[in-house]
């Protein structure tokens, strides 16, 4: 079934490229030109959604009823602002994997896109880890790792607002080596036309107000658990028992801090979709948004 859908999508991309009935490229500097583009994109996006419903594992779980209208108005009224996309979801839902797929497709087409993770905005807790002896001991003594208070949200908000206005920034870098160290202004983050921000903190408090498109990634609980434990063991050298204990913590934290963002998401994505198919969807979106008659 997937191979059939895959071939059909490849055929759609090929037909789009070969089509002689292309839209004359509008003048995006004019409001009328942007309105033509938006109407065109709306019809094409609806076509993608209808096509995706045929897939065995659709990429799109749900799209908010007013998303297209809201986003269209934003493109027409403020075309110079960077397109800000926030991606959240519970731990091991597939946020980072989806972002890597987006980055790979973007690199292939040489599109100017910024990828930023909010995990680098964790507070520096190195003193607390030294006090309690380890990250796990700190958590066991009541430190709420994933709460909004555990992030530098003021720094994150300021950085995202600056990026959206076209300013390059230097983000913090949180070291994942168990030391709890956060290095301020350590990573250069360019402000490109499209900015994708991934991580649970992307929808915390008023951070979510920065985004033009809010995305929630959801995945089956057992798949998430398997991913989490494998990552804890292979990437973070965490003993299995400690990994299981932390898994129990993040289940509760996810329910409390992350899951509410689902209700405000513009798009809900399947975090267990076939990545090759997901990349084809992205390729098709790129094709229809860049294939004009000059």
Mean pLDDT computed over 120-144: 95
Q: Grade residue 16 by pLDDT with cuts at 50, 70 and 90.
A: low
pTM (predicted TM-score): 0.87
DSSP SS3 for 86? strand
Alpha carbon of residue 284 to chain centroid: 18
Q: Grade residue 231 by pLDDT with cuts at 50, 70 and 90.
A: confident
Give every CB contact of residue 11 below 8 A, 6+ residues apart in sequence.
Answer: none
55: left (phi over 0), alpha (psi -120 to 50) or beta: beta
**Most confident listed range (66-80, 105-119, 139-153):** 139-153
Helical spans, DSSP H, in the chain: 2-18, 31-52, 67-77, 95-108, 126-132, 135-140, 153-164, 221-234, 240-253, 275-290
DSSP type of residue 36: H
Q: Is pLDDT of 226 > 70?
A: yes
Q: What is the pLDDT of residues 247-277, one digit of tens each?
A: 999 999 999 999 999 999 999 999 998 888 8
**CA-based angle 122:258:48, to the nearest 5?**
115
* Domain 76-272 annotated CATH 3.40.50.300: yes
Q: Is pLDDT of 122 > 70?
A: yes
More confident residue, 201 or 194: 201
What would the two tokens of residue 61 be?
A: 């779980």
Dihedral sign (CA 39, 40, 43, 45) = negative
Q: Is pLDDT of 5 > 60?
A: no
Q: What is the pLDDT of residues 37-83, one digit of tens each?
A: 788 788 888 888 888 888 888 999 999 989 988 888 888 888 788 88
Helical spans, DSSP H, in 109-220: 126-132, 135-140, 153-164
Q: Is pLDDT of 111 > 70?
A: yes
Q: Is pLDDT of 216 > 70?
A: yes
DSSP SS3 for 236? coil
Distances (CA, A) of 79 to 75, 82, 116, 175, 189: 5, 8, 22, 36, 21
Mean pLDDT computed over 232-239: 77
């Amino acid at each position: 079934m997937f191979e059939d859908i895959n071939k059909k999508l490849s055929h759609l991309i090929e037909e789009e490229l070969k089509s002689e009935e292309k839209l004359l490229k509008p003048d995006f500097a004019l409001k009328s030109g942007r309105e033509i583009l938006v109407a065109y994109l709306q019809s094409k996006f609806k076509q993608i959604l209808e096509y995706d419903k045929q897939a065995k594992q659709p990429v799109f779980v749900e799209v908010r009823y007013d998303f297209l209208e809201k986003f269209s108005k934003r493109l027409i009224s403020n075309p110079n602002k960077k397109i800000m996309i926030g991606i959240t979801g519970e731990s091991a839902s597939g946020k980072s994997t989806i972002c890597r797929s987006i980055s790979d497709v973007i690199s292939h087409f040489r599109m100017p896109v910024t990828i930023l993770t909010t995990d680098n905005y964790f507070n520096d807790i190195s003193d607390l880890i030294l006090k309690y002896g380890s990250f796990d001991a700190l958590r066991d003594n009541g430190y709420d790792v994933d709460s909004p208070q555990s992030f530098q949200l003021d720094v994150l908000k300021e950085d995202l607002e600056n990026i959206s206005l076209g300013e390059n920034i230097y983000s913090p870098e949180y070291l994942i080596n168990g030391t709890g160290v956060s290095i301020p202004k350590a990573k250069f983050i360019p402000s490109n036309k499209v900015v994708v921000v991934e991580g649970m903190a992307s929808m915390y408090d008023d951070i979510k107000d920065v985004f033009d498109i809010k995305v929630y990634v959801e995945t089956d609980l057992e798949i998430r658990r398997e991913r989490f434990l494998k990552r804890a063991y292979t990437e973070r050298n965490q003993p299995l028992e400690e990994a299981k204990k932390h898994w129990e913590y993040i289940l509760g934290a996810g329910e409390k801090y992350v899951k509410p963002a689902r209700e405000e998401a513009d798009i809900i994505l399947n975090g267990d979709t076939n990545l090759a198919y997901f990349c084809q969807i992205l390729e098709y979106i790129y094709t229809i948004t860049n294939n004009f008659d000059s």
